[in-house]
Amino acid sequence: MRTVILLVGALLMVVSAAHAADETWNPAMCPKGVEDNLGKLPFINPYDSEGRCFRFLGRSAQLLDRTHGLYGIMSSETPFAMVDLGKKSAPVSFYSGVVLSKGAYVYETVTGARKIVFSFVDVPKTEKKPSE
């Protein structure tokens, strides 16, 4: 299981790095920079992640409302993080972007089980400045 998670994490890092080359993220929201360690993200305690920014690529597990969704890591539909997209509509299939962790999000499943996942906020892109 751990090998599968690490392999998926490695794939996500490659995909995220490819997308990152063309995008600029709001530095005010991520003063410590953006972490490219998706392979390690499953091993970080959500309660200890507050204030950290990550590149994230996830598959939709469930839409909570128009702007919030539960996302699994890439190929998994198992909820891993709740992503708040602000004013944007939550994607129904995949979400890719930079997120700021707000710590943990706690919810109850239909069977009554208490689940704790990451609580992420989408970090909006800034306008690229034209090259001089």
Task: Work out the pLDDT band at 22, boundaries 50, 70, 90.
Answer: very low
Phi-psi region at 74: left, alpha or beta (left = phi > 0; alpha = psi -120 to 50): left
Digit-coded pLDDT (tens) for 46-65 = 999 999 999 999 999 999 99
pLDDT of 78 reads 67
Report pLDDT digits (tens) over 106-130.
999 889 999 999 999 999 987 665 5
| pLDDT (mean) for 31-40 | 82
| Segment 87-104, tens digit of pLDDT | 999 999 999 999 999 999
